[in-house]
Amino acid sequence: MQTPDDGARARRPEPGTADTVVLDVDGTLVDSVYHHVWAWQHAFAEVGVDVPLWQVHRAIGMGGDRLVAAVAGDAVERGVGDRLREVHDEAYERVVRTVRPLPGAEDLVTTLLEQGWRVGVASSGTREQTATALELLPDAHRLDAVVAGPDVDTTKPAADIARLCVERAGGSAGLLVGDTVWDVRTAGALGGACLGVLTGGFSEAELLDAGAFAVVGSAEDVPAALHDLAPHHRGAVTPSTREVPRA
């Protein structure tokens, strides 16, 4: 039976249409979305701006340069945007030691490399936040590319960050894995597909409605969901023929 918004949902991509998996970080690899919500709450409280926290939560994953205006309006962004980001970053820093990897994230890069993908991460966070998150993943040194918010002029949901990630990974077409509608829209802007995970607290319906071609529980379930789409199934790239750069 069809549902009214089937039209808005993406079809499963054809095998061979992508060679690079672009992984989101917060909420996809590490369990930091609620830490970011907490840090933004702290920041908004400090400048006396009232913002319902569920709206902050739903804005996590777009760049911090966009989040303030998106949840509190342009006037707040113009007035105290930089101060808010400063307080957020300081507050996040204070709780970052309690961030844990999400189920299945610790060996996800290795498993995807074994499936023949090029693998990169593209995070809207700062370089430092992204590096700290990747320290939780034993195989992060095997990543083909790491791109953080400051590496591009325009963060998610613009395509720039994902495009640069694919380029740095030496790939030609990206498939995104992310937990937010911003990841899904970034994939759309890139002309690629997005697999959703539930670990950021967006619901399955929200991710499907945004255009994810499928939604799985967590990083743990990603390799199975990408297995049939992976390059080793089309024989284009095999792990033995490619060099994995060590960061």
CA dist., res. 190 & res. 159, Å (int): 5
- In whole angstroms, how close is the CB of 190 to a second copy at the nearest point? 25
Q: Report the residue number, 140 or 210, with the smaller CB distance to a second copy.
A: 210
Q: Report the residue number, 56 or 161, with the smaller CB distance to a second copy.
A: 56
Q: Report the residue number, 57 or 66, with the smaller CB distance to a second copy.
A: 57
- In whole angstroms, how close is the CB of 27 to a second copy at the nearest point? 8
Q: CB neighbours (10 Å) of residue 202?
A: 27
Instruction: Return residues touching a second copy (CB under 8 A).
Output: 1-4, 27, 31, 33-35, 37-38, 41-42, 45, 50, 52-54, 56-58, 98, 100, 102-103, 198-206, 218
Q: Report the residue number, 102 or 158, with the smaller CB distance to a second copy.
A: 102
* Structural contact between residues 17 and 228, judged by C-beta atoms closer than 8 angstroms: no
Q: Report the residue number, 35 or 88, with the smaller CB distance to a second copy.
A: 35
- In whole angstroms, how close is the CB of 23 to a second copy at the nearest point? 17
- In whole angstroms, how close is the CB of 63 to a second copy at the nearest point? 21
- In whole angstroms, how close is the CB of 147 to a second copy at the nearest point? 25
* Structural contact between residues 140 and 105, judged by C-beta atoms closer than 8 angstroms: no
* Structural contact between residues 147 and 165, judged by C-beta atoms closer than 8 angstroms: yes
Side-chain half-sphere of 136: how many Cα atoms within 13 Å? 21
**Closest C-alpha to 175, from 230, 124, 243, 123:** 230
Q: With the C-alpha atoms ordered 49, 55, 59, 60, is the resulting torsion angle positive or negative?
A: positive
